[in-house]
Structure 1
Amino acid sequence: MKIGIIDDDVSFSTQLKNKIKTSLYFEDAEIVVFNEKFETLDLMDYEYLFMDIMLLQTSGIELAKKVKNKQTKIIFVSANEALVYDCFDIHLYFFIRKAFYEEDFKRLLLKIEKDEAESNKQYLLDEKNHQYIRCVDIYYIQSHRNVCTFYTKDQEFQQYTTLKKCTEYFCSNIAFYKINSYTIINFKYVTKINHQSVTLLNQQTFNVSRKAKDLIEKYHTYRRYIQ
């Protein structure tokens, strides 16, 4: 595991590095600290990036937008917690307040543990053939008559079931939302959203039903949950 710390505050970045090194979850990680020349950094191979939002040389938010590896978990660190509201267009994993970084770091470890358990949760597609799919991998689900198709990044899976049954199963999880009479989306992969349409990471765009009045509220609830 490779971890990057990007912060022009040398003292705090040293404290944070020591905190990370002493945690059991990150004990074998390679930790690299950057205190300057942020615009020239190659950030492709990091599993976690701890980034100060207010860097003297550049904006941490703009730097985060340049991270091309969608698997990288971006954790913003700031002395101003109100800045979290500027981060909704970033695939932000967590937000640490510098004034409470030890407390927030504990919350981060709890979130990682919970997310790893959730990422291993599977949905049974075919009982006869013992075929499962990881719930976290599902971009969206669409129904046609009594067949539901489950779309992941690279594959499609079909099951003879109704969208009503899928809604009862998946939408109890705040990551999933039924946006119209035949589509359930995973908020995890949303890149654009408004009351009329939703676009996912795979560039697929869907119309939103007028019945989905709490869509934006549910999306922000999900975003608050993952931070």
Structure 2
Amino acid sequence: MKIGIIDDDISFSTQLKNKISLYFENTVIDVFNEKFETLNLMEYDYLFIDIMLLQVSGIELAKKVKNKQTKIIFVSANEALVYDCFDIHLYFFIRKAFYEEDFNRLLSKIEKDEAESNKHYLIDEKNHQYIRYIDIYYIQSHRNICTFYTKDQEFQQYTTLKKCAEHFCSNIAFYKINSYTIINFKYVTKINHQSVTLLNQYTFNVSRKAKDLIEKYHTYRRYIQ
């Protein structure tokens, strides 16, 4: 694992590095206190970024991170700035005033995500082929075939969307948005009552029957935080 800390507060960044090293074994931790615009941030699993950097906006710096697998964790002394982060696929927000409390909540979230990532769905019983829940972006049906879409692959199974909904939508991360599509809230970047856009830039129409979509999405967001 590789973790980066971007903060011009040398004292706090050192404290954060020491804290991280207590909980994550076999981890490379890089600390950057200056020259932020020249950094190559492509290879990190987690990035802790102070929003209020003197040299550059932490939010703008996060937008330059092209690796969609990197989990962005903003850190700030001003918790109101969390509302400026909605354009970022944010993983977590740490308030410096409540650093210990929020760091423990972050650890709990990571544990939940790891537990979720270990859940598998049997796609093909004959060939013993499984797919991880956490990897599924969305599921779409055509007649009696459902296609499961991940970042790089597609898997098909002879089943109905109704059966998939019974199985997956009992999980807080999944939601049936129309008569042929189930989405994973984990990969939502834009959402309203008319449409949903996922991390892969695909946009889907929302059925009028999906009246509790926004409520379910916010429930999911509260759960993972």
Q: Could you state the TM-score of these two structures normalised by the residue count of structure 2? A: 0.93
Answer with 47-56 or 81-90: which moved more: 81-90
In the TM superposition, what is the alpha-carbon distance from 1:85 to its structure 2 partner? Answer: 2.4
Aligned residue for 1:169, secondary structure, equals: helix
Aligned residues of 2:178 and 2:210 also touching (Cα < 8 A): yes
Contact 1:121 1:135 in 2 (8 A): yes
**Inter-CA distance 220–86: structure 2 relative to 1 (3 Å threshold):** farther
CA contact (8 A) 1:150 1:157 kept: yes
Note if contact 2:123-2:157 (Cα within 8 Å) is conserved in structure 1: yes
Equivalence for 1:10: 10
Per the TM alignment, residue 89 of structure 1 is displaced from its structure 2 partner at its CA by: 2.1
Give the direction of change, closer, same or farther, for the CA distance of 1:89–1:220 in structure 2 (3 Å limit): farther
Does the aligned pair in 1 maintain the 2:3–2:27 contact within 8 Å?
yes
Q: Deviation per CA, 1:126-174, whole angstroms, max 9, x where unpaired?
A: 2232221111111111112222111112222111222112112111222
Q: Which residue of structure 1 aligns with residue 134 of structure 2?
A: 136
Distance 2:88 2:193 in 1: 20
Distance 1:100 1:47, change over 3 A: same
The CA deviation at 1:223 is 2.8
TM superposition shift of 1:222: 2.4
**Residue in 1 that maps onto 2:172:** 174
Distance 1:104 1:202 in 2: 30
Q: 78-87 vs 38-47, which deviates more?
A: 78-87
CA positional deviation for 1:24: 4.7
Q: CA deviation at 1:36?
A: 1.6
Alpha-carbon distance in structure 1 between the residues aligned to 2:201 and 2:89: 16
Alpha-carbon shift at residue 209 of structure 1 (Å): 0.6
CA drift of 1:64 comes to: 0.8
Q: Is the 8 A contact 2:146 2:160 kept in 1?
A: yes
Q: How far is the alpha carbon of 1:191 from its aligned partner? A: 2.5
Q: Cα distance 1:32–1:85, how it changes in 2: closer, same or farther (>3 A)?
A: same
Structure 2 residue matching 1:64: 3-state secondary structure: helix
Q: Runs of 5+ in structure 2 lacking a partner?
A: none
Matched with 1:195 is 193
- More divergent stretch after superposition (59-68 vs 122-131): 122-131
Q: SS state of the match for residue 102, structure 1?
A: helix
Deviations 1:106-145 (A, max 9, x none): 2222221221111121001122322211111111111122
Q: Is the 8 A contact 1:79 1:99 kept in 2?
A: yes
CA deviations 1:61-106 (Å, max 9, x no partner) are: 1111110111111111111222222222211111111122122222
Q: Tell me if the contact between 1:93 and 1:226 (Cα under 8 Å) persists in the aligned partners.
A: no
Percentage of pairs with the same residue: 91
Post-superposition offset of 1:187: 1.6
2:108 and 2:36 mapped to 1: Cα distance?
29
TM-score normalised by length of structure 1: 0.92
CA contact (8 A) 2:4 2:47 kept: yes
What's the CA shift string for 1:155-204, capped at 9, x where partnerless?
22111222112112111222211110110011222222222112222222
- Judging changes above 3 Å, is the alpha-carbon distance between structure 1 residues 88 and 223 closer, same or farther for their aligned structure 2 residues? farther
Asked if 1 retains the 8 angstrom alpha-carbon contact of 2:112 and 2:224, the reply is: no
Take 1:56 and 1:224, find their aligned partners in 2: how far apart are those partners? 31
